[in-house]
Structure 1
Amino acid sequence: MDALKDGRGPRYEHACTQLHELLVRIAMDEVLRRGPRYRIVGPELNDLAHQAAADALMRITYKIQEFRGDARFTTWAYRFVVLEVSSKLGRHFWRAAHARFDSDEWAQVPDRPGTDPASHWQAQELVEAVRDAVATALSARQRQVFTAVVNGVSLETLASELETNRNALYKTMFDARRKLRARLVAGGHLGGAG
């Protein structure tokens, strides 16, 4: 860690190389864990991990003077690479958002062993009602935020992409949930209490 604070020379270069190797391993673990949710596979997954590790390394070397030693250095560095992975996955969602919210997928609720036909039909009907409510009851902005949150985009990434703040996103989600609940209650899919 002291070699990183020097900011130059062979010790610094060696420390950066070692740190980058660690960051790539952490980023690969993170994208392998979270990538399938975003339908990222193969070379794109590998590329995303390497980009996140490189960006995290740049951020760490820039902020190394702020490291106070309250935690292990690797724990501190881990946070940077995980945040970079989250940011890159969020951006990937915005480039391919249609892939995660495909209307055909709404109808593909998996059969569960032991579910009787009536329960299965009711579940299918509820899914259809939610899909319809999202499409018709929400404003375009509410639908955009709701869809992103349901698909796991972090609030930090979402706020950055939409050029807003977390409080505005909370308010948008609150209003969207209220509209969806009202539509589902009116359609007899949910009880009116609560």
Structure 2
Amino acid sequence: MPERIASELLDSPAPAVPVADVSNQVWPELLLATGPAYDAAVRRLHELMTKAAHHQVSYMSPDLPVIGGVRVDEIVKQAADEATVAALGKLASFEGRSRFTTWAYKFGILYASNEVRRNMWRHREVNLDNLPEFAGAFTSPEQHVEHLEFARAVESAIETVLTPHQRKVAVALLVEGIPIDVLAERMGTNRNALYKTVFEARARLRAHLTAAGYFGGPIAVQVSS
């Protein structure tokens, strides 16, 4: 049975089984099978991840330096490979609340975004000519020093005050800008749980910084949706 379905998935433009079954029942069955059925399903899953990664890299391409088409293809392939492995590793967390392909597609988006960000920083150069202008944004050298001290205090608080889970969620959502739905799917949780974690992390950071003598407005929490 799995071999027949795998053949239909790969060779037929219109599988004989219903789309809903392919999405939510047959896919997990094939990816938990062995032999040709498993190999065919993994190839199809990798194709889906490649499509998702290519879409995301194209979407984020204005942020990429000029690195050439060959490097872009390498980024897409790397993201698709990592996303495929990640999805297979999280297969048990798929609950059938959405189509399987929709669930899996998010892994491709997530890992492509990570690859693009890594390449953005890898190829970004620091323009030393802009540093005096940056310093001039402060009204005095003292204010500049205070700003740097506060930034270091926040960084230290993130590392020492937050729990590992709070730190992971806060950095992913607030620093890396990972969409909350994608992170929720990846961590096997939901939006409300992640919002609660961010709220608690914010409260801890604010209490710590207040006790340390820093005072300012509320810490803004902006989460990508």
Structure-2-length-normalised TM-score: 0.48
Q: 1:41 aligns with which of 43, 60, 67?
A: 67
Post-superposition shift, 1:141?
A: 8.6
Post-superposition shift, 1:56?
A: 0.6
Count of aligned residue pairs for this structure pair: 141
Post-superposition shift, 1:36?
A: 2.7
1:13 aligns with 2:29: no
Q: 2:58 aligns with which of 22, 25, 32?
A: 32
Post-superposition shift, 1:24?
A: 0.7
Q: Tell me how far apart the structure 1 counterparts of residues 150 and 71 of structure 2 sit (CA, whole Å).
A: 29
Amino acid at match of 1:30: Q
Q: 1:65 aligns with which of 67, 74, 92?
A: 92
Q: 1:139 aligns with which of 124, 140, 148?
A: 148
Q: 1:76 aligns with which of 90, 103, 113?
A: 103
Q: Tell me how far apart the structure 2 counterparts of residues 37 and 135 of structure 1 sit (CA, whole Å).
A: 29
- Structure 1 ranges of 4+ moved more than 4 A: 103-106, 132-137, 165-168
* Structure 2: tracts of 5 or more residues without a match: 1-26, 155-169, 177-196, 217-225
Amino acid at match of 1:156: A
What SS class does the counterpart of residue 129 from structure 1 fall into? coil
Post-superposition shift, 1:35?
A: 2.9
Amino acid at match of 2:35: G
What SS class does the counterpart of residue 137 from structure 2 fall into? helix
Spell out, residue by residue over 1:77-116, the C-alpha distance to the aligned partner (whole angstroms, 9 max, x if none).
11111111122223224433x43x535679xxxxxxxxxx
Identity of aligned residues (%): 28
> Equivalent residue for 1:102?
127
Q: Tell me how far apart the structure 2 counterparts of residues 41 and 59 of structure 1 sit (CA, whole Å).
A: 27
> Equivalent residue for 1:22?
48
Distance 1:41-1:58 versus aligned 2 partners, 3 A rule: same
Over the residues paired in the alignment, what is the CA RMSD in angstroms? 4.2
What SS class does the counterpart of residue 95 from structure 2 fall into? coil
Spell out, residue by residue over 1:113-163, the C-alpha distance to the aligned partner (whole angstroms, 9 max, x if none).
xxxxxxxxxxxx99x737x999766428939x9xxxxxxxx942857xxxx
Amino acid at match of 1:72: R
Give 1:88-127 correspondences, 5 Å limit.
Answer: 88-96=115-123, 98-99=124-125, 102=127
What SS class does the counterpart of residue 28 from structure 1 fall into? helix
1:129 aligns with 2:116: no
Structure-1-length-normalised TM-score: 0.54
Q: Tell me how far apart the structure 2 counterparts of residues 53 and 13 of structure 1 sit (CA, whole Å).
A: 16
Amino acid at match of 1:102: N
1:156 aligns with 2:172: yes
- Asked if the contact 1:35/1:41 (under 8 Å) is kept, the reply is no
Q: Tell me how far apart the structure 2 counterparts of residues 60 and 74 of structure 1 sit (CA, whole Å).
A: 11
